[in-house]
Amino acid sequence: MSEIQDKITKILVDKIGIASTEATIDANFIKDLGIDSLDYAELVMEFEQTFEIRIPDSDAEQLQTVGQAVEYITKKVNQN
């Protein structure tokens, strides 16, 4: 597991209260983890703060799984 995936899993465990085993790479934020739109907005803000990146709303809408978030954030972090 990558460092970025570890951090995303920790955020999900801390903010949403899921078990770390639920935050699999294929887990869908809404369908599998039960995250609502308010929780999702808070997650995106937490990702931005933790990784010191900006995630435009149009990009945030495309992040539906843990794996997509890991891939997106990895690309953004490596651009800086």
Q: How does pLDDT run across 6-62, given as a tens digit for each residue? A: 999 999 999 999 999 999 999 999 999 999 999 999 999 999 999 999 999 999 999
Q: What is the pLDDT of residue 60?
A: 96
**What's the predicted TM-score (pTM) here?**
0.92
Catalytic residue from among 14, 36, 57, 59: 36
Q: Catalytic residue at 59?
A: no
Answer whether residue 1 shows pLDDT above 80: no
What single-letter DSSP state applies at residue 28? B
What spatial distance separates the first Cα and last Cα of the chain, rounded to whole Å? 22
Q: What is the pLDDT of residue 79?
A: 87
Task: Give, in order, the Cα–Cα distances in Å from 53 to each of 19, 23, 26, 78, 80.
Answer: 26, 22, 23, 10, 9
Domain locations in the chain as residue ranges: 3-79
What's the pLDDT tens digit per position in 60-79? 999 999 999 999 999 999 98
3-79 CATH: 1.10.1200.10
